[in-house]
Amino acid sequence: MDWSRPSTDSFGALFSHFFRFFSSRHSRDLMIIAAVAFVLVILVVLQISPTSPGDPSSAGGFRRFLSDNTAALAFVGGGLGVIGWAYQAANLRFGVADIFAAEIATICRVAAVGDLMPILVDRYIDGKPLPPITVPLVVFEDIFKDLEVLDSNVVGAVTEFYMYLRELQSALEGAHEPAPGGAEAAAHPPPHRHRSLHAIYNAFLAFESARNAIGALVDDGELRQEHVLTALQGELPAYFLLYMEYAKAKEDDVRHKRIVGRLPGYQGLIESLKDLIASLKEKNTPQARRIRDLASRVTDLWDESVDGKKIGFSHRFLTPAIDAETRRTRRAEYLWTDGTEGSPGRIN
């Protein structure tokens, strides 16, 4: 056994591409083309006449066989060529889907490991400007044109993620300036807070679109679940903050409708994740353990921050305070805020 290579199922790997060709959403049209070509080839083969009387192994018998079935053999060759083309075209699509999924999942994983959203939310609650970030988009910038081989809904989901991510970086650049002080700050909300909230909104949309893009790109069920759960670790903290900000807005406000309207969908998603955790309790494979652990982190985050119709942040969720005593009052306004009259309001 070669210890330097990851352990793989050799038999499964041998047929994985063929199975993916027949089951992937990326190759459904190509699979239909290949299936039609295969059926036509079989029908033509069944109609090929046998060799003329005589010795079929002789040169004359073989020539007679070719001359009697020239058109049929040409059709069979063309049909096999179509099947080969469909398989190669499917592999090209798989490669494009996999490389974009890898970049999107890597960005979400780096954000989760670095606590990007808790840090942004923390600084927003404390009234501090958000730090700028730079995300190199190597795949997007170099091979974006290759996305055209995928379905339009997949292209749309991937493009949304990259556009929101670029807008997030631009918004963080604008939000990175010191807050004003004195009477002016007390009378008017500092501009950087509006820009910071705009940046967090774009971060939420980026993680949400990343979850949708991964769902559209990744064929492997377990890998897709792992990547989606990673994206949710950045998506939910941003959603909680936006809900607390916009739940108090007027009901005809478009941001109020879009944020509050997502709550039932998240509630259903969390229930599905709890069912998933229960179904994986008896499984002890490495990937099942990773999925179970990630799903538990997401459901714990939800349960700590959502109580019926109330949404807020638990103390354990927020990152440790450097100067907790001076920040206690401001943080208290964001703990279990339900957005109703008399509840702690938004920090201005």
Does the pLDDT value for residue 197 go beyond 80?
yes
Does the pLDDT value for residue 315 go beyond 50?
no
For residue 246, report the phi and psi dihedrals to the nearest 5 degrees. Answer: -100, -10
For residue 188, report the phi and psi dihedrals to the nearest 5 degrees. Answer: -135, 140
* Among 207, 222, 206, CA closest to 295: 222
Q: Which has more pLDDT, 318 or 132? A: 132
Q: What is the mean pLDDT of residues 272-300?
A: 91
**Which residues, 6 or more positions from 339, have their beta carbon under 8 angstroms from its beta carbon?**
243, 244, 247, 248, 311
Q: What is the mean pLDDT of residues 189-209?
A: 84
As a whole-number percent, the residues of the chain with pLDDT over 90 amount to 33
311 DSSP 8-state letter: E
pLDDT band at 235 (very low <50, low <70, confident <90, very high): very high
pLDDT digits (tens, 9 = 90+) for 81-140: 999 999 999 999 999 999 999 999 999 999 999 888 988 888 888 888 888 888 888 887
Secondary structure of the chain: what % helix, strand, coil (to 5)? 70, 0, 25
Does the pLDDT value for residue 15 go beyond 80?
no
Judged by DSSP in three states, 69 sits in coil
pLDDT digits (tens, 9 = 90+) for 34-85: 999 999 989 888 877 665 455 555 555 656 666 667 778 888 899 999 999 9
Contact at 8 Å (CB) between 45 and 98? no
* Among 299, 297, 302, 298, CA closest to 314: 302
Q: What is the DSSP string of 256-303?
A: HHHHHTTHHHHHHHHHHHHHHHHHTTT--SHHHHHHHHHHHHHHHHHH
Does the pLDDT value for residue 318 go beyond 60?
no
Does the pLDDT value for residue 341 go beyond 70?
no
- Distance from CA of residue 15 to its chain's centroid? 26
Does the pLDDT value for residue 339 go beyond 50?
no
